[in-house]
Amino acid sequence: MIHINNLSFSYPKHEVFRSLTFSLEGGNVYGLLGQNGVGKTTLLKILAGLQRSNKEACLVNGYNPYKRQPAFLREVYYLPEEPACPPGTVNDFARCCGGFYPRFDLGQFYGLLDRFGIQPLARFKDLSAGQQKKAHISYAIALNTSLLLLDEPSNGMDIPSKSLFRSVVSQHITPERVLIISTHQVRDLENLIDPVIILDKKGVVLHATIEEIAQKLYFFRDVDEDPSALYAEEVPAGYSMVRSNTAHHDSKVDLEILFNAALLHRDWFTDHFKK
Amino acid sequence: MEFNEHKAIYLQIAETLCERILIGKWKAEERIPSVRELGASLGVNPNTVARTYDYLQQMNVIYNKRGIGYFVTSQAREEIVSVMKTTFLKEELPKFFKKMNLLSIPFDELETIYKQNNQ
């Protein structure tokens, strides 16, 4: 559904991507991970048509996003980390802007607002930052676009809303839809994001499903640091570690350990996860 | 049932569902939630739940009626008990014996405690 082929992108004094290549398929909740400044937000903006990429390097549903054709735009929505505060009420905003998206479902929107505890008639500027975020997420989900891009969606959300968010996203995904969530809060989204894409300054370090990761890597804990571990982190119960899964045990993928290991052993990862 | 936080999520979910069948919350030939319903209630990626259901189908614990949904098989309890017994004997018991040796607990001491608990 999304094809990125040799994508290069630079800001005036700073190169972000050099020949980035990967494809994304429907039915998945992609988790886009990377340290600050590696270009996660830039990539989402390119996919949404808000930043210009080199010619034909990026195809979304068969469209070049930057041409911003209506048939493309009605199927994609990008929710920034800190969306602007719209004038008027939550209801006004959704009724006015939702009209541009043919599958926007007003009933579903009200249902989501209700679950998040947001009054449709509240004015945006009277809501707290976290409440505004919940209103924006309800709107983004209810648009039912085939591509939804969420930049740090769980930031600013309270604890009950995070589990509600996971439930809502899980319900939202269908074989025709792609969801990309960029995040640093991997604990908030564990068990939800699959596949995982890890970016660093040189490009894609890892692009694999949780199943593929668990086939190649074994996540474990022990009282002592294991010399065979690729990465070890001291935790209250000893060491949380990851090593090559030579014994073919099926373990739970720990996204934080995975991320730290991938940054430390870039070559090992690109080598072992070759497609 | 031992809760293993390092087990893959699809297996953790499978274990929970098997327990529901063992305690009788889900009965033989009863319809269970769809992949999407369970994904939403657990806040887990539906692909993970689909993997759990594949695994339970291979175990003959649930079966799929095309277009209707997933159902608990009539022999689900027996299948679960036999798989869990094998896991217990092959994986958990050796760890248990290892700890007994480590703490120098003789077998007859264990036998006494076992009998006291089962009076």
Say what percent of chain A tops pLDDT 90.
82
Side chain identity at residue B113, one-letter code = I
Looking up residue A113, the CATH number of its domain turns out to be 3.40.50.300
- Domain match, A181 and A256 both: no
CA-based nearest residue to A166, from B44, B51, B13, B10: B44
pLDDT reading at B4 higher than 60 = no
User: Do residues A116 and A140 touch, judged by C-beta distance below 8 A?
Assistant: no
Average pLDDT over residues A143-159: 94
Q: Assign B43 a pLDDT band (cuts: 50, 70, 90).
A: very high
* Domain C-terminal end among A172, A191, A206: A206
Q: Do A170 and B45 touch (CB under 8 A)?
A: yes
- Domain match, A149 and A221 both: no
- Domain match, A64 and A133 both: yes
Angle (nearest 5°) at CA A27 between A140 and A113: 25
Convert the pLDDT of each residue in A59-79 to its tens digit: 999 999 999 999 999 999 999
pLDDT reading at B2 higher than 60 = no
* Prediction pTM value: 0.89
pLDDT reading at A226 higher than 70 = yes
Helix axes A106-116, A129-142, angle to 10 degrees: 150
Find the closest chain A residue to B9 by CA distance.
A252
pLDDT reading at B3 higher than 50 = no
- Domain match, A149 and A217 both: no
Which domain range does residue A259 map to? 209-272
A10 Cα to chain B: minimum distance (Å): 34
CA A198 to chain centre: 11
Burial A25-36 (b: 16+ CB within 10 A, else e): ebebbbbbbbee
User: Measured between alpha carbons, how far is residue B36 from residues A270, B12, B45 in Å?
Assistant: 33, 17, 9
pLDDT at A133 (0 to 100): 95
Q: Do B48 and A194 touch (CB under 8 A)?
A: yes
Q: Do A192 and B11 touch (CB under 8 A)?
A: no
Average pLDDT over residues A240-258: 93
- Domain match, A199 and A222 both: no
Query: What are the chain A neighbours of B6 within 8 Å (beta carbons)?
Result: 219-221, 251-252
- Domain match, A219 and A238 both: yes
Number of independent structural domains in chain A: 2
Top pLDDT among B119 and A51 is at: A51
Say what percent of chain B tops pLDDT 70.
96
* Domain C-terminal end among A206, A228, A245: A206
- Domain match, A230 and A192 both: no
Average pLDDT over residues B78-104: 92
Q: Assign B6 a pLDDT band (cuts: 50, 70, 90).
A: confident
Q: Which residues are A231's β-sheet partners?
A: A242
Q: Do A191 and B43 touch (CB under 8 A)?
A: yes
Domain range annotation of chain B: 9-77
User: Do residues B45 and A193 touch, judged by C-beta distance below 8 A?
Assistant: yes
User: Do residues A243 and A232 touch, judged by C-beta distance below 8 A?
Assistant: no
Residue B56 touches partner A, C-beta closer than 8 Å: no
In whole angstroms, give the CA distance from residue B47 to residue A42: 28
- Domain match, A242 and A156 both: no
Average pLDDT over residues A227-247: 92
Average pLDDT over residues A195-203: 93
pLDDT reading at A163 higher than 70 = yes
* Domain C-terminal end among A206, A222, A252: A206
pLDDT reading at B58 higher than 90 = yes
Query: What are the chain B neighbours of A214 within 8 Å (beta carbons)?
Result: 8
- Domain match, A189 and A134 both: yes
- The CATH fold assigned to B9-77 is Arc Repressor Mutant, subunit A (1.10.10)
Average pLDDT over residues A21-31: 95
Nearest to B7 among A170, A173, A252 (CB): A252
pLDDT reading at A124 higher than 80 = yes
Query: What are the chain B neighbours of A208 within 8 Å (beta carbons)?
Result: none
Residues 6+ apart with CB under 8 A from B83: B59
The DSSP code for A7 is: E
Residue B112 touches partner A, C-beta closer than 8 Å: no
pLDDT at B5 (0 to 100): 62
The DSSP code for A146 is: S
Q: Assign A24 a pLDDT band (cuts: 50, 70, 90).
A: very high
Q: What is the mean pLDDT of chain B?
A: 91
pLDDT at A156 (0 to 100): 87
- Domain match, A178 and A138 both: yes
The helix (H) or strand (E) run that includes residue A264 is helix A255-264
Side chain identity at residue A3, one-letter code = H
pLDDT reading at A208 higher than 80 = yes
Q: What is the mean pLDDT of chain A?
A: 93
Residue B41 touches partner A, C-beta closer than 8 Å: yes
Average pLDDT over residues A202-214: 94
pLDDT at A90 (0 to 100): 96
Query: What are the chain B neighbours of A167 within 8 Å (beta carbons)?
Result: 40-43
**What's the complex ipTM?**
0.84
- Domain match, A180 and A224 both: no
Find the closest chain A residue to B11 by CA distance.
A250
CA A163 to chain centre: 16
- Domain match, A157 and A239 both: no
Reduced 3-state DSSP string for chain B: CCCCCCECHHHHHHHHHHHHHHCCCCCCCCECCCHHHHHHHHCCCHHHHHHHHHHHHHCCCEEEECCCEEEECCCHHHHHHHHHHHHHHHHHHHHHHHHHHHCCCCHHHHHHHHHHHCC
pLDDT at B1 (0 to 100): 30
